């Protein structure tokens, strides 16, 4: 009988602990967008990881995100420099210059 009482008490304490963790877990997700497990993974890996990123189609950790380098082609014009996604979009004879630090103008 004593064993049964011990099992019941331990079970009730375990349920109470789960309830407390779920409150903290909910508060954590609402305030930081991270679950308690996400905080643990971030701490252990040294990266910024969270489930919300994964659910939106991105990588689990920010540092693992692939950022492809866009291909940019820049040309001098009368007022400065214009950059495009495709090479020589207007078919003229302007010489291409370096694209570093310039914004791309999207053609529509």
Q: What is the pLDDT of residues 34-49, one digit of tens each?
A: 887 888 888 888 989 8
| Same domain, residue pair 16 and 55 | yes
How many domains does one find in the chain? Answer: 2
| Same domain, residue pair 60 and 72 | no
| Same domain, residue pair 79 and 54 | no
Q: Indicate the pTM of the whole model.
A: 0.44
Full residue range of the structural domain in which residue 34 is found: 2-64
**Secondary structure letter of residue 61 according to DSSP:** B
Q: Is pLDDT at 60 greater than 80 in this prediction?
A: yes
For 14, 21, 26, 38, 54, the CA distances from 17, given in Å and listed in that order, are 5, 6, 14, 19, 28
State the pLDDT at residue 53. Answer: 82
| Same domain, residue pair 57 and 99 | no
Number of CB atoms found within 10 A of residue 7's CB: 10
| Same domain, residue pair 53 and 80 | no
| Same domain, residue pair 74 and 44 | no
| Same domain, residue pair 58 and 72 | no
State the pLDDT at residue 108. Answer: 47
| Same domain, residue pair 46 and 79 | no
Contact of 41 with 49, CB cutoff 8 Å: yes
> What dihedral do alpha carbons 35, 41, 44, 49 form, nearest 10°?
-90
State the pLDDT at residue 22. Answer: 72
State the pLDDT at residue 102. Answer: 53
């Amino acid at each position: 009988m004593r064993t049964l009482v011990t099992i019941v008490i331990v079970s009730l304490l375990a349920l109470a602990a789960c309830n407390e963790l779920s409150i903290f877990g909910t508060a954590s997700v609402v305030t930081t967008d991270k679950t308690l497990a996400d905080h643990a993974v971030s701490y252990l890996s040294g990266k910024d990881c969270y489930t919300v990123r994964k659910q939106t189609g991105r990588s689990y950790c920010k540092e693992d995100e692939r950022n492809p380098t866009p291909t940019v082609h820049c040309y001098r014009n009368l007022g400065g420099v214009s950059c495009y996604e495709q090479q020589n979009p207007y078919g003229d004879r302007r010489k291409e210059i370096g694209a570093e630090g310039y914004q791309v103008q999207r053609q529509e």
